[in-house]
Chains A and B, each alone.
Chain A
Amino acid sequence: MDILAWLTDPSNWDGVGSIPHQVLIHLIYSIVVLAVATVIAVPLGVFVGHTGRGESLIMGSVNAMRALPTLGLLILLVLLIAPTISNSLAFVVPSLVVLVLLAVPPILSGVASGIRAIDRSVIDAARGMGFSTAQIIWRIELPCALPLTLSGVRGATLQVVSTATVAAYVSLDGLGRFIIDGRAGNDYAQMAGGAIVLALLAILLEAAFAGLGRVAISRGLTRRMPAHPAPKATAPRPRATA
């Protein structure tokens, strides 16, 4: 099978342009994008979730963003920026910008809806105990919103890692390189090999997030610790039909 031959060819595993090199570049792009997106989305999400303001506007634009084709936006930005900047930044900046645009909405709506879903009485209780607004946000709202926040980040990660392939279309590196070069050279083995590595990377990251959720989310919020411990079976329960 030629795809297997491509994947196992030692020359594809060493040096510049090799599989590990492109995976690394792909991951670096993704991590930078997710970091920038988180810095933008979390405070905005806290604002929307905490105050309830701008909810319909934000959620509406989250939906509209889904329809916006990343490929088209990226090419448009590159054509706009390329004449003014001559180095490779002309391709890097637009790629990062469109990927951040892709990643912000899921994180934002995760944080906002996570905070909105908290039982009001929990927040009122904290305020009654003398928590300041900052304490409520840091110690109640953010930890309680963590499950939905994490699933937002997970969705964003998946989107970004899948879509970062478009960077290769505007001549940058990353796993899209194999797909674009394979297509240009009519080399199906290279295209498919790159696609398999990309899919594996996405699945691995998904699994990593599932593991992270187990570690990071307070046990009180998951079903792994029952809210009301089951009564010990010391005395036989009265039967309903007794």
Chain B
Amino acid sequence: MRFDWIANNLDYLVELTGMHLWLTLLPTVIGLLVSIPLGYLAFTLRRFYPLIVGGTSLFYTIPSLALFILLPKILGTKVLDPLNVVVALVFYTVALLVRVVADGLASVPPEVVDAARGVGFTRMQILFKIQLPIAVPTILSGLRVVVVSNISIVTMAAVIGITQLGTLFTMGFTRRLFVPILAGLVICLLLALALDRLLVLLGKVMTPWSRKGAL
């Protein structure tokens, strides 16, 4: 074991971590932005709930590696384009979050919505000021699952040669080096832990009413 490898390659590790973070966070944010209107549609048009939720969760059936490889043909990108990974993860994020958003909105007590309508809130005001804020805990718990699993899905892209933390695994394999593999595993776990804590914190900030003694 040569742990000085880490000190000698610190810049490289930082670069890979940055790339990995970008490939995880960008699709998560885009996926969330796509899931909110879709989830709202599934919630308001109850008849279409099975179609919208079932249809989007079908994306999850397609193995990530297969998606990374097939997307270039559909998008016209190169196989090595990180965009393929971003698009694939947007699909997975949507697959998980549409149901979460719809169920989160459904968990808002109807009398609260009625009260808001009674004091003259418009439909959009009800959505953004009442329903979404109350659904925040549910949506965030879904988002935590998404972020953590996205971090490990991204590493699979190393098999076809897209640079991120998974590259440390393939490089460690070809050069028979343990330290890069261990470093990759540890950084992935730390990233997952950090992002998860960050989301929990964000949830606390966004729902001040849930804090003890706030009322």
Contact = CB atoms under 8 A, between A and B. Distances in A.
Contact of A71 (B73, B156, B178): B156
Nearest to B160: A183
A182 B184 CA distance: 26
A105 to B, nearest CB: 11
Contacts, number: 131
B63 A76 contact: no
Contact of A166 (B145, B159, B161, B172): B159
Interface in A167-204: 169-170, 176, 179-180, 183, 188, 191-192, 194-196, 198-199, 202-203
B182 A76 contact: yes
Interface residues of A, number: 38
Most chain A CB atoms below 10 A, which of B69, B156, B192: B69
B79 interface: yes
A180 B160 CA distance: 7
Nearest to B188: A69
A191 B73 CA distance: 11
A66 B173 contact: no
Given A76-B178, A76-B182, A158-B60, A71 B159 contact: yes
Interface stretch (B33-41, B146-154, B200-208): B146-154
B65 A192 contact: no
Interface of A: 3, 63-64, 66-73, 75-76, 78-79, 158, 161-163, 165-166, 169-170, 176, 179-180, 183, 188, 191-192, 194-196, 198-199, 202-203, 206
Contacts of A162: 63-66
B197 interface: no
Contacts of B62: 199, 202-203
A66 B196 CA distance: 12
A71 B185 CA distance: 10
Nearest to B154: A69
Contacts of B158: 71
A72 B65 CA distance: 15
Chain A binding surface, main DSSP class: helix
Most chain A CB atoms below 10 A, which of B63, B79, B152: B63
Interface string B179-191: 0011011001101
B65 A179 contact: yes
Interface in B122-173: 144-145, 148-149, 151-152, 155-156, 158-161, 165-166, 168-170, 172-173
B188 A67 contact: yes
Interface of B: 60-67, 69-70, 72-73, 79, 144-145, 148-149, 151-152, 155-156, 158-161, 165-166, 168-170, 172-173, 176, 178, 181-182, 184-185, 188-189, 191-193
A179 B60 CA distance: 20
Contact of B169 (A3, A75, A198): A75
A199 B152 contact: no
Given A71-B166, A72-B166, A75-B169, 11 more contacts: A67-B193, A69-B166, A71-B169, A72-B184, A79-B172, A165-B65, A183-B159, A188-B72, A191-B69, A192-B73, A202-B63
A203 B61 contact: yes
A206 B182 CA distance: 34
A5 B155 CA distance: 31
Nearest to A102: B152
Q: 4 tightest CB-CB pairs across the interface, nearest first?
A: A162-B63, A67-B192, A195-B66, A69-B155
B152 A70 contact: yes
Contacts of B173: 75, 78-79, 169-170
Contact of B152 (A69, A158, A170, A196): A69
A202 B169 contact: no
14 contacts: A64-B189, A64-B192, A67-B149, A67-B193, A69-B156, A75-B172, A79-B178, A176-B159, A191-B69, A192-B69, A192-B70, A196-B70, A199-B61, A199-B62
A68 B188 contact: yes
A76 B172 CA distance: 9
A67 B155 contact: no
